[in-house]
Structure 1
Amino acid sequence: MKKFWIFLFFCANLANATLTNSIAVVVNKEPITSYDIQQTMKILNLSREQALNVLINEKIEISQIKQFEISVNDLEVDEGIKKMMAQGGMSLEQFRANLKAKGQSYESFRANFRKDLEKRKLYEKIANSNKTDFSEDGAKKFFEQNRNKFVFYANINVNIYSSQDAKILENLKNTKHTKLKAHNVNLNPNNADPRLLALLSQIEIGDFSPVLNSRDGYELYEVKSKSNQQNVEYEQIKNEVLNAYINEQRQNYIQDYFEKLRSKVSIEYLDR
């Protein structure tokens, strides 16, 4: 009798494991399991639909990385991490210890960093396929149409979110939901790089900065308020305007590229 109950217990657990690991969605013949969805929901604090969208987008990115034969070698990974640590003034030993204190291994961070570099290469390759306008006339027109983007604020109140995983911060930007605790800071020319203030000055109140490298991994800034406004003219910041004009063209092209790509992707839902 005892063996019979053990057998039933084994079958029940096997059935549960099979259900947990069952294939939920197939994207271009690449499977996404129920376990993948549950883990993404847990780690990124997302709803099931949001987690599924993240995983579908990842599969599309991976397929594009394979299609363009994009690769990142060990040297590129090591150099990228060294550059990031140098910006934060940390040694490798300090960085490893910091990761360990936060429950993450260096190997795991390195693997995620490699994926981030692959994605950057992918976006760069896609953006470079667009015919970008580099003209000064185009930049001047962009400046006149977007003067609000080139106002400098000398005092900016922000919430700063930190993580060793850039993907967690990217999803915070998209969903505005997170379990991360924010660090509130009042930034000004005395405690912040003027380039950071210039970047944050262009971000609307309540919105987020791009994910930026930091001494602990990555940071995301949420702009809460801005004050001490200083207007500037085109000739004072024409290089910055041209860079912003080029970046906006590239970002719009990348977004349009993936929207069109997703509309053509074969997505089969198996558990609905």
Structure 2
Amino acid sequence: MKTTFRLLVSMFVCVSFGFSGIITGISVIVNDEPITLYEVYKYSKKFKITRKESLDVLIRQKLEESQIKQFHIDADIFEVDKYIESIANRNNISKYEFFNMLKKENVKIDDYKKQIKQQIKRDKLYQSIYKDKLKGVEDSEIKEFYDKNPTDFMQANSFNLTIYTSQNDKDLQAIQKNPMLQLESVKIEKRFLTEETLNNQLKTLLNATEQGKFTQIVTIQNRSTMFYIEEKKDFKKVSYENAKNSIYRAISKQKESKVIKDYFEKLRASATIKVLRSPS
């Protein structure tokens, strides 16, 4: 009996160590920088993408990090604070209120600041890549885009909405996952909003959200708020003059993305990448 028990224990230990080795083993080495299988699995689970897609993203991140080091790109605390303030301002809240929102979501402020610092460094890298390679946007390109995509410039001016408000983002996130959920902490109100009662920011948010979908959660008068779009009405086409700036930004963004994509494809092709274990 004791022999059988020892055999079972030994088998369990071997399987445990074997599984641990698979999960923590190195998947790929990019220019002497390792990516573990665990990192791939974790990223795949977090962002709900395939392991191959996760590996491609992580390889890209390693290449970005190597470029940031090579070009001595950094970001100081003042840049981080300014970036965070701009996020808070876009949501019409103070930096203090924004930090409180993060705490409610169990996000550590120091960890968040590290992420922002990395984002700023990445933005600086991208700017250095495309600043000399990016061609300007011609007026003819803007006009052509406007003429070829007429439906993109049809905007609703009236909305049948269900408005959800709460002190806690998590309550609204729970309703997004299960619309039938009823929580005492969430106030629900049916409203019909017209052009006269909408500011530009809210109108943009509602138009950017599909009918039959929830908007993203925003802060209005210190309360977490989201809208469910029941119906959009009173459609009008945005004039060319009013659409020019947004088209310019969209085309510029497309060109920037292409320059960055081409750059990192060439960089990856010339990098030393060793595949030790392909995640399955």
Q: Shared fold by TM > 0.5?
A: yes
Whether the 8 Å contact between 1:155 and 1:228 is mirrored in structure 2 is yes
* 1:238 aligned onto 2:241: no
Offset, 1:25: 0.9
Whether the 8 Å contact between 1:152 and 1:230 is mirrored in structure 2 is yes
Q: 1:92 to 1:21 in 2, by over 3 A?
A: same
Q: 1:24 to 1:241 in 2, by over 3 A?
A: closer
* 1:75 aligned onto 2:75: no
Decide which of 125, 140, 144 is 2:143's aligned counterpart.
Answer: 140
Offset, 1:64: 2.6
Q: 1:75 to 1:157 in 2, by over 3 A?
A: farther
* 1:47 aligned onto 2:50: yes
Q: Unaligned stretches of 5+ in structure 2?
A: 162-173, 180-189
Whether the 8 Å contact between 1:132 and 1:250 is mirrored in structure 2 is no
Q: How much is the aligned-residue C-alpha RMSD, in angstroms? A: 4.6
| Aligned pairs (5 A) from 1:168-247 | 181=176, 189=195, 193-194=199-200, 197-198=203-204, 227-247=233-253
Decide which of 121, 126, 129 is 1:126's aligned counterpart.
Answer: 129
Secondary structure in 2 aligned to 1:103? Answer: coil
The one-letter code sitting in structure 2 at the alignment partner of 1:231 is K
Secondary structure in 2 aligned to 1:133? Answer: coil
Offset, 1:131: 3.5
Q: 1:108 to 1:206 in 2, by over 3 A?
A: farther
- 194-203 vs 36-45, greater mean Cα deviation: 194-203
* 1:66 aligned onto 2:98: no
Decide which of 244, 268, 272 is 2:274's aligned counterpart.
Answer: 268
* 1:252 aligned onto 2:258: yes
* 1:28 aligned onto 2:25: no
Aligned residues: 246
Offset, 1:236: 4.1
Partner deviation per Cα, 1:177-223 (whole Å, 9 max, x = no partner): xx99459899875776535645875799899x9xx99669xxxx999
The residue that corresponds to 2:154 in the other structure is: 151
Secondary structure in 2 aligned to 1:58? Answer: helix
Q: Please give the alpha-carbon distance, in whole angstroms, between the structure 2 residues aligned to 1:56 and 1:222.
A: 38
Q: Please give the alpha-carbon distance, in whole angstroms, between the structure 2 residues aligned to 1:157 and 1:126.
A: 45
Q: 1:63 to 1:238 in 2, by over 3 A?
A: same
* 1:87 aligned onto 2:90: yes
The one-letter code sitting in structure 1 at the alignment partner of 2:149 is N
Q: Please give the alpha-carbon distance, in whole angstroms, between the structure 2 residues aligned to 1:14 and 1:270.
A: 19
The residue that corresponds to 2:165 in the other structure is: none
Q: Please give the alpha-carbon distance, in whole angstroms, between the structure 2 residues aligned to 1:188 and 1:70.
A: 48
Q: Please give the alpha-carbon distance, in whole angstroms, between the structure 2 residues aligned to 1:191 and 1:55.
A: 46
Whether the 8 Å contact between 2:134 and 2:255 is mirrored in structure 1 is no
Whether the 8 Å contact between 1:187 and 1:197 is mirrored in structure 2 is no
Q: Please give the alpha-carbon distance, in whole angstroms, between the structure 2 residues aligned to 1:154 and 1:250.
A: 32
Secondary structure in 2 aligned to 1:271? Answer: coil
Q: Which of the two has higher C-alpha Rg? A: 2
Report sequence identity in percent. Answer: 27
The residue that corresponds to 1:109 in the other structure is: 112
Q: Please give the alpha-carbon distance, in whole angstroms, between the structure 1 residues aligned to 2:49 and 2:228.
A: 19
Partner deviation per Cα, 1:142-177 (whole Å, 9 max, x = no partner): 33333343333335799xxxxxxxxxxxxxxxxxxx
Q: 1:111 to 1:197 in 2, by over 3 A?
A: same
Whether the 8 Å contact between 2:84 and 2:95 is mirrored in structure 1 is no
